[in-house]
């Protein structure tokens, strides 16, 4: 029998600016407000696809865990070996799993390092490679704005004529650079401008999501649902009035209710009880406001086989990124959206060997391919939607990535 591979977690103690530790090559990130995890180097990685991709991901992760001899003096969520994962929206596209060679974590002022292998504790770089500036050429995406509005109108007609209640339509923009794009600069800019979002990077997909699809921590499960959006003006008084109008908007409340219901229904079979607030709160971000609801539950202890992969299979895709009913909405997206979503709107985040972890929905993001980045934005379409207003909402949702690139 081959000898097990050492995995060691040790405290660092000092406050570390995680996003300043990242390498210039293939950074891995899940950071919010300075806390989170960053990784570099790849101990192992794989790609899964197809209708069984969540089960295949579990199998692969558990096969890797069997090879490890874990020495963890920190004993906290996010220590020990970590799986960074980014799943595709559509099962027929590639989902990516990566186990970093080295991980640094930070929570509540305390930091730690985990490394795989029998070497001594790695030294953190005192000087990381310089950030690379780039000049960008902005172009249209898969569809022009006018063409996308036509697709929105088609979706509204389908809602009026069929059993479809809501569908999420996304659009993209493609931006080219004269040199390879440095993910680290984008991540730092996003973190500075949107500190309340989760800043993520996995295999070239970088972004700042406000939507937590799934948090598992010691048997408790949490999912933050966002649906219903309004742009901010920058004037505090006007924005308070806009927030009040969003909270009363029948169109936005209807869209939000579909999304909350889909998440609560997905979690219910796995929980002894779930808590769903009666009404949403308004989440204020730098550029937009969202209707938001935190759905929480306690996992049934007898269901030992239930893990993040089991729940993800039921949660994804939620009404917030697909629609209601899910299968009808997914079919319409395939027929009329006119682009490949890739890993946009799919689950992204991390899991540890205990089964704890955090996974968001990959929103406000872009896929880097050397000298090009494709950025995405989506809007929930219901019976009361207006194509012109939806285009305006999608433009507001492009703002974080536009700003981070500029």
What residues are labeled active site? 166, 211
Comparing CA positions, the residue from 119, 120, 117 lying closest to residue 43 is 117
> Given the DSSP bridges, would you call strands 212-217 and 220-231 parallel, antiparallel or unpaired?
antiparallel
Task: Work out the number of other CB atoms within 10 angstroms of the CB of residue 126.
Answer: 5
* Residue-by-residue DSSP string for 337-383: S-S--TTTTSEEEEEETTS-EEEEE--SEEEEETTEEEEEEEEEE-T
Which residues are CB-neighbours of 33 under 8 A, at least 6 positions away?
195, 196
Scored b (16 or more CB within 10 A) or e, 314-335 reads: bbbbbbbbbbbbeebbbebbee
**What is the distance between the alpha carbons of residues 189 and 231, in angstroms, rounded to a whole number?**
20
Roughly what angle, to the nearest 10 degrees, separates helices 387-405 and 183-193?
Answer: 120
Question: Are residues 378 and 168 in contact, defined by beta-carbon separation less than 8 angstroms?
Answer: yes
Measure the CA–CA gap between 340 and 170, rounded to whole angstroms.
10
CA distance 213 to 190: 20
How far are the Cα atoms of 110, 192, 226, 296, 306 from residue 196, in angstroms, in the given order? 19, 10, 14, 19, 29
What span, in angstroms and rounded, lies between the C-alpha atoms of 150 and 155? 9
Is residue 297 a contact partner of residue 203, using CB atoms and an 8 Å limit?
Answer: no
Both structure tokens of 335: 């027929």
Do 74 and 11 form a contact (C-beta atoms < 8 A)? yes
């Amino acid at each position: 029998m081959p000898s097990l591979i050492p995995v060691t977690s040790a405290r660092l103690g000092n406050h570390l600016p995680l996003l300043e530790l990242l390498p210039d090559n293939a950074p891995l990130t899940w950071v919010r407000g300075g806390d989170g995890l960053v990784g570099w180097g790849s101990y192992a990685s794989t790609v899964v696809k197809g209708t069984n991709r969540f089960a295949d991901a579990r199998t692969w992760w558990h096969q890797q865990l069997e090879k490890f001899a874990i020495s963890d003096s920190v004993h906290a969520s996010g220590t020990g070996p970590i799986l960074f994962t980014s799943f595709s929206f559509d099962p027929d596209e590639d989902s990516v799993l990566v186990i970093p060679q080295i991980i640094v974590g930070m929570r509540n002022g305390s930091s730690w390092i985990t490394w795989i292998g029998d070497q001594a504790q790695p030294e953190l770089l005192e000087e990381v490679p310089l950030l690379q500036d780039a000049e960008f050429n902005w172009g249209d995406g898969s569809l022009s704005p006018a063409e996308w509005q036509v697709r929105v109108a088609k979706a509204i007609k389908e809602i009026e004529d069929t059993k479809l209640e809501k569908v999420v339509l996304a659009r993209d923009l493609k931006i080219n650079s004269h040199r390879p794009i440095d993910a680290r600069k984008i991540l730092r800019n996003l973190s500075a401008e949107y500190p309340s979002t989760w800043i993520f990077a996995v295999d070239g997909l970088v972004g700042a999501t406000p939507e937590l699809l799934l948090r598992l921590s010691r048997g408790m499960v949490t999912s933050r649902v966002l649906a219903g959006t309004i742009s901010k003006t920058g004037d505090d008084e006007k924005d308070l009035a806009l927030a009040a109008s969003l909270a009363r908007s029948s169109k936005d409340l209807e869209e939000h209710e579909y999304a909350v219901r889909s998440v609560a229904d997905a979690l219910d079979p796995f929980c002894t009880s779930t808590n769903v607030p009666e009404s949403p709160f308004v989440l204020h971000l730098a550029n937009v406001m969202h209707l938001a609801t935190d759905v929480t539950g306690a996992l049934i202890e007898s269901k030992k086989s239930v893990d993040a992969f089991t729940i993800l299979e039921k949660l994804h895709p939620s009404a917030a990124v697909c629609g209601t009913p899910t299968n009808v909405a997914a079919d319409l997206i395939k027929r009329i959206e006119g682009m490949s979503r890739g890993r946009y709107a799919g689950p992204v985040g991390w899991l540890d060997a205990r089964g704890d972890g955090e996974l968001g929905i990959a929103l406000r993001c872009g896929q880097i391919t050397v000298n090009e980045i494709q950025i995405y934005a989506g809007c929930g379409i219901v019976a009361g939607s207006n194509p012109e207003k939806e285009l305006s909402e999608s433009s507001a949702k492009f703002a974080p990535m536009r700003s981070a690139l500029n």
